[in-house]
Structure 1
Amino acid sequence: IKFKLSLPQLKDNVQLKEQLFHGIKAGNMAPYYKEVCTDLGWPLDQKLFDEMAKLNQERLSKFEEDDSETPVWQ
């Protein structure tokens, strides 16, 4: 979708923009959101970016915590 939005004839396609944005938000894709905004010239919603990044960090911390509790079989 990002590639399609980079094409001059599709850059203003509202349906594609909404589809891409929905996917980014649904997956909390903070780094990709920043890349898309930079590449496509969209304004970055810093509050949204910070929220997604925070959720990602919390999820990563949970994985790391769970991993530290898992015994390692050698």
Structure 2
Amino acid sequence: MPDAFKSKFTTNRAICDKVDRAFSKLSSYNSRARCEGSGDKKRILVSFFAQADLTSSTSGSYADFLDLVFVQYSSADAK
């Protein structure tokens, strides 16, 4: 997570609210972001019902998020 992002959004609630507002324009967004972990291991988990929206969300960095990059994540892969 970029330092500029962590400096601007200092709480999990602020992070999740920002992500929710940004992705709510996508019809398949699951409507709730959640944070997991802390420090350098913090993850923002979001989900989509359509592969196209997931792909577009993970295709690059977001200026609105101070260059935060989203990647596909599977909890099954993390085990």
Same fold by TM-score greater than 0.5: no
Q: Which structure: larger Rg?
A: 1
TM-score between both structures, scaled by the size of structure 2: 0.27
TM-score between both structures, scaled by the size of structure 1: 0.28
Quick check: which one's helix share is greater?
A: 1
Quick check: which one's strand share is greater?
A: 2
